[in-house]
Amino acid sequence: MDSTQIIITLIGIGLIAFIVKYFFFWKEAATTATSVNDKIQEVDVTVKGGYTPSTIQTSVGKLLRLRFYRDETASCSEEVVFGDFSIRKELPAFQTTVIEIKPEKAGTYEFTCGMGMMHGKLVVV
């Protein structure tokens, strides 16, 4: 191989690595809730065809304040459900709805829209 071929090969490998990372790991990147004080953590979630961020990491025994901003009118996202915490709440369009949860046990807890089509999860550590 001459130097041009080597460079092209390296660029190709770089692109493949980027694509693999983007598709397989991007969505798994957890957002850690921000500590307001030593008892409360907070996170902003945008609701638009899904939840952004969709994976939220928080701490056991702290009050987690989720601030859902629903940036659409699509009926799919009009409710959010935290089955493990017996929470089902309406999210009015273009408003912020606050949901407070205090996880007492470590684990992964899923949340979904009212129909179970959109998914997110709380990772409690």
Where do contacts with Cu ion occur on this chain (CB under 5 A)? 76, 113, 115, 117
Both structure tokens of 95? 């408003």
Residue closer to Cu ion by CB (options 51, 109) is: 51
Radius of gyration of the chain (CA): 19
Shortest Cβ 76–Cu ion spacing (Å): 3
Nearest to 111 by CA among 50, 42, 27: 50
CA distance 5 to 113: 50
Provide the minimum distance between the beta carbon of 47 and Cu ion in the complex, in angstroms, as a whole number: 10
Considering the complex, what minimum distance in angstroms separates the CB of residue 70 from Cu ion?
12
Q: Of the two residues 41 and 77, which places its CB atom closer to Cu ion in the complex? A: 77
- Choose between 107 and 116: whose C-beta lies nearer to Cu ion: 116
d(CA 45, CA 34): 12
Q: How far is the CB of 113 from Cu ion (least distance, A)?
A: 3
* Closer to Cu ion by Cβ: residue 76 or 87: 76
Question: What is the C-alpha separation between 53 and 32, in angstroms, rounded?
Answer: 10
Token digits of residue 108: 């992964």
